[in-house]
């Protein structure tokens, strides 16, 4: 079974490879996505190290002058996706892109490639990628944490990579949708609309894109005025982890000034996460910075503290308890949203389904804590899901049914790098 799935995963990556960059799946997502490419690089690294580096290098071809690495790189226009480049209206001179970012997993991936590839070429790759990664992290700390709270905000639900998470609902309800005009979605013609965000979500997504476009995607204006600006435990923990990995690379390269800057960000975030701690729920949650509202939902990102290197028992013990409560309730960990919450929906995208890449991140954190049992539960559940329902985009935590797009690149990649 395993060898057959290994071959299938390799074929999927090769078929979704459009020449140096990989699309998430055919039809539904025909462009290069930011965090998808980072995970895909880990998959490629299991059988073609050069191709792994190339995936990251092409992602950084889309980097803006201010350091931002966009969430989509539109190398060629494809009418099967909406919203395409003309809706974003960005003015990046190099390649058309979207106007905001996505979870910064790339530095963590680059560190792993660097450790695996001990060749002189590997050292050259990291030397050229290091300043680009540092500039991106600096952009995140400057513009998505403008007041220096030590937590990272998103300006659009898409920036979290967890688009229709129930935790964004309240904050997004303040976004004025009266001026968005007519539009036609393409996603619901590729997959069952029941498994996708609703129309009201898309209305809000497009209103925020309009705000960005109207303000030329200026990150300073975004930080001051964007109608949606919510601190996300997902991006905060992922960036904290990525800062630590970038620090390890800075030290290996003798980049002392960069190392000091990174240490400053790490110390700030280690303190700042207290702002995302919901004492009553005993969990890390979202914080709506625009409207000053602490969320009450437990999502899969609530389990990323160990991955971020957080070790305080006051945080880690309740995290384990929530894990066990949820694990007892579902057949497959980790649902993207708490099954005990009234807004949980087992098949609707980020409102309940299991995502292999998130399982991989959570399990990495538990494994590093020495918590092998929980890490293994996540891994064996992921294996069972892929064996049952193939390389789907995401899975129902109760039935194990696959959902969304199929022959999905990042599901294949995490199979190769971790699950198999």
**Rounded distance, CA 420 to CA 380, Å?**
9
Which of 375, 380, 376 has its CA nearest to residue 363?
375
Q: Considering the rule CB under 6 A, would residue 83 count as an interface residue with ligand 9WN?
A: no
Is the separation of the CB atoms in 305 and 314 below 8 Å? no
**Rounded distance, CA 294 to CA 287, Å?**
4
Interacting residues of 213 by C-beta distance below 8 A, sequence separation 6+: 87, 88, 89, 90, 99
- Which residue in 54, 159, 163, 371 is the catalytic one? 163
Minimum Å gap between C-beta 65 and ligand 9WN is 23
Q: Which is nearer to ligand 9WN, 71 or 144 (CB)?
A: 71
Rule CB under 6 A: choose which of 21, 33, 64, 337 binds ligand 9WN: 33
Q: Which is nearer to ligand 9WN, 160 or 319 (CB)?
A: 160
Interacting residues of 362 by C-beta distance below 8 A, sequence separation 6+: 300, 303, 304, 306, 307, 334, 378
The site string for ligand 9WN over 151-170 (x = CB under 6 A, - otherwise) reads -------x--x-x-------
Q: Record the tokens describing residue 408, joined without a space.
A: 């999905």
The site string for ligand 9WN over 298-337 (x = CB under 6 A, - otherwise) reads ----------------------------------------
Distances in whole angstroms, Cα of residue 125 to Cα of each of 100, 211, 389: 25, 37, 37
Rule CB under 6 A: choose which of 9, 21, 36, 126 binds ligand 9WN: 36
Q: Considering the rule CB under 6 A, would residue 30 count as an interface residue with ligand 9WN?
A: no
Is position 393 annotated as part of the catalytic site?
yes
Q: Considering the rule CB under 6 A, would residue 104 count as an interface residue with ligand 9WN?
A: no
Gyration radius (Cα) of the chain, Å: 20
Q: Considering the rule CB under 6 A, would residue 74 count as an interface residue with ligand 9WN?
A: no
**Rounded distance, CA 409 to CA 105, Å?**
16
Minimum Å gap between C-beta 2 and ligand 9WN is 25
Q: Considering the rule CB under 6 A, would residue 96 count as an interface residue with ligand 9WN?
A: no
Q: Considering the rule CB under 6 A, would residue 29 count as an interface residue with ligand 9WN?
A: yes
Cα-to-chain-centroid distance, residue 225? 24
Q: Record the tokens describing residue 55, joined without a space.
A: 């995936």
Positions touching ligand 9WN (CB under 6 A) are 24, 29, 33, 35-36, 71, 158, 161, 163, 187
Where in the sequence numbering do the catalytic residues fall? 163, 393
């Amino acid at each position: 079974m395993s060898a057959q799935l290994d071959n299938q995963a390799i074929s999927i990556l090769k078929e979704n490879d459009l020449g140096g960059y990989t699309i998430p799946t055919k039809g539904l997502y025909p462009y290069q996505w930011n965090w998808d490419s980072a995970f895909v690089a880990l998959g490629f690294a299991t059988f073609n190290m050069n191709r792994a580096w190339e995936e990251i290098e092409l992602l950084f071809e889309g980097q803006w002058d201010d350091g931002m690495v966009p969430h989509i790189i539109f190398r060629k226009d494809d009418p099967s996706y909406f919203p395409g480049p003309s809706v974003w209206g960005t003015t990046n001179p190099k390649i058309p892109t979207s106007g905001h970012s996505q979870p910064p997993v790339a530095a963590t991936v680059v560190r792993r490639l660097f450790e695996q590839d001990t060749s002189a070429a590997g050292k050259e790759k990291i030397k050229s990628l290091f300043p680009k990664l540092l500039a991106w992290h600096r952009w995140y700390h400057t513009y998505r944490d403008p007041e220096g709270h030590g937590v990272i905000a998103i300006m659009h639900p898409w920036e979290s990579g967890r688009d229709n998470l129930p935790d964004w609902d309240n904050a997004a309800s303040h976004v004025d949708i009266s001026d968005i005009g007519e539009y036609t979605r393409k996603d619901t013609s590729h997959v069952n609309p029941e498994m996708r965000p609703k129309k009201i979500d898309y209305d809000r997504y497009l209103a925020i894109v309009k705000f960005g476009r109207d303000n030329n995607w200026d990150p300073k204006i975004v930080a001051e005025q964007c109608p949606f600006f919510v601190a996300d435990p997902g991006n905060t923990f992922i960036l904290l982890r990525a800062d630590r990995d970038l620090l390890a690379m800075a030290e290996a390269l003798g980049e002392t000034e960069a190392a000091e800057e990174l240490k400053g960000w790490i110390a700030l975030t280690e303190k700042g996460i207290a702002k995302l701690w919901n004492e009553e729920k005993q969990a890390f949650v979202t914080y709506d910075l625009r409207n000053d509202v602490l969320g009450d939902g437990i999502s899969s990102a609530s389990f990323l503290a160990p991955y971020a290197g957080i070790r305080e028992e006051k945080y880690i013990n309740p995290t384990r308890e929530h894990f066990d409560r949820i694990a007892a309730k579902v057949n497959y960990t980790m649902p993207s949203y708490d099954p005990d919450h009234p807004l949980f929906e087992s098949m609707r995208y980020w409102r309940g389904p299991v995502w292999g890449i998130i399982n991989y991140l959570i399990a990495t954190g538990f494994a590093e804590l020495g918590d092998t049992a929980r890490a293994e539960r996540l891994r064996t559940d992921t294996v069972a899901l892929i064996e049952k329902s193939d390389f789907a985009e995401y899975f129902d935590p109760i039935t194990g049914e696959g959902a969304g797009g199929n022959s999905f690149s990042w599901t294949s990649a995490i199979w190769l790098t971790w699950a198999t």
